Amino acid sequence: MSAIAQRRDLMVQIGSVALTPEEFHIAYPRVQAWIQKTLTAHEKDAQPITSMRFVRLPFYFDHTLLETTKFIPIDRVPMPPLSAMGLSRFAAFEQGDFNGVTYLDRYFIKRTLVTEEALHFHELIHVIQWRVLGPEGFLAAYANGLDQFGYESCPLEKMAYDAEASFKRSSAIFAAEDFVAEQLADLR
């Protein structure tokens, strides 16, 4: 089975597909274009995570990931105009005032929380999810999770919150990339 077929299979299995294939087929290019435009507009403000000199993150994440992933401090994290893209059922999510949001290997984080290592940890879990699932797979799984379970119980969000809680408890150190891969496999 090809990697693309495996990702599509995983998308379907992460909480039965709620979006119709037609809805996703129409919305995906619009969301992807918005993400690229947004990242390009803010790239000048992007900072490597290593610039924060966090002490604990290197125990959980590969050095290369920490070197290449960047965060963007901002007053309010940008959310795609999903309602305008024909996905009005996500209006509440679109209007949410979140502390951070991840797009590909960049994440936006509220300027007032930029020193919160646990928040960076949470967003890095999402970076790995994007990498493992690919952009199309991530967006489909996230949208279906939101649609079916709501924000707090969305499987990809729950995974990030569970990992963050473990990180905050200072429990045993774990390889975050392995954790995400195992959690995604368990969702199948």
pLDDT for res 18:
63
pLDDT for res 184:
93
**Spatial separation of the C-alpha atoms in residues 126 and 138, rounded to whole Å:** 9
- Please say whether the beta carbons of 47 and 71 come within 8 A: yes
Alpha carbon of 109 to those of 23, 62, 82, 146: distances in Å?
29, 21, 20, 21
pLDDT in tens, the chain (188 residues): 334 334 444 443 333 346 787 888 899 999 999 999 999 999 999 999 999 999 999 999 999 999 999 999 999 999 999 988 888 888 888 898 999 999 999 999 999 999 999 999 999 999 999 999 999 999 999 988 988 888 989 999 999 999 999 999 987 899 999 999 999 998 86
Beta bridge partners of 47: 71
The token duo for 42 is 């803010």
What predicted TM-score, i.e. pTM, was given to this entire model? 0.88
**Spatial separation of the C-alpha atoms in residues 81 and 78, rounded to whole Å:** 9
Domain segments of the chain: what residues? 3-186
Which helix (H) or strand (E) covers residue 110, if one does?
Answer: strand 106-110
